[in-house]
Amino acid sequence: MKHVYIFSLLLLSIGCATKGYVTKEVQQSESRSSAQIEDLKRMVEESQTEIRNLADEMGVKIEGLEQTTGELERITGDNARTVAALGQIRFQKTFSESEANFSSESDELSDAAKMELSKFAELVLAQNRMAHIEIQGHTDNRGSVEYNHQLGLRRAENVRNYLYKNHDLPLHLMSVISFGPDSPIASNNTREGRSQNRRVVLVVRIQI
């Protein structure tokens, strides 16, 4: 009986030590994650400022630059993997018909579009970081859905080819997708609305 009592005390003490160790490790892990989040937020904010300044200098209008900071603020201390995955900045540039001159049923880049794409490429290259670019093709709703998806894809591919051939942006870091008429930003019932819907959107994710 005495041996059983001593053994029980030993198990209890081991259990308490194990629980204390786990609690300490969890607290330290949370502290490390919090520090990691704060460091990443600081780097993101500094990079956002740099990108914004460069964009202003080059005359490139970009959208959604603050999105990553907002995502980081919603992260809790036990999501270190999520923090690591969010080590990037996301923004986008939209080329509407007024800039890219994608007239109805056309996928050709105008000289004005090429000039704007060159400014965009300079902005991306100036970061000197790995950047992935998703190139989205959009159309109005005139014509069949299948035709418009193919048209949107050709527009996106022409943009990708221009960025590759003229500015050496790596092909493996650029992907193309066509949404066709499925994601309008204006009414297709007016000429002006259809003009806005004929566009290419470049979504950029830059590793920091």
Q: Residue 106 — pLDDT band, cuts 50, 70, 90?
A: confident
Q: Determine, yes or no, domain membership for 5.
A: no
Burial class (CB in 10 A: 0-12, 13-18, 19+), 21: exposed
Domain count, the chain: 1
What integer pLDDT is reported at residue 127 of this predicted model?
A: 87
- Encoded tokens for 97: 């018909």
- Does a structural domain hold residue 2? no
Who's near 155: CB < 8 A, 6+ residues apart? 100, 102, 107, 137, 138, 139, 178, 200
Cβ within 8 Å of residue 151, ≥6 positions away: 105, 107, 137, 139, 143, 178, 180
Structural domain includes residue 80? yes
Domain of residue 56 covers: 31-207
Contacts of 34 (CB under 8 A, 6+ apart): 77
Say if 10 falls within a structural domain.
Answer: no
Summarised one tens digit per residue, pLDDT across range 29-79 is 455 567 777 777 788 788 888 888 988 988 888 888 866 666 666 655 455
Q: Say which CATH number the domain at 96 has.
A: 3.30.1330.60
Say if 12 falls within a structural domain.
no
pTM: 0.74
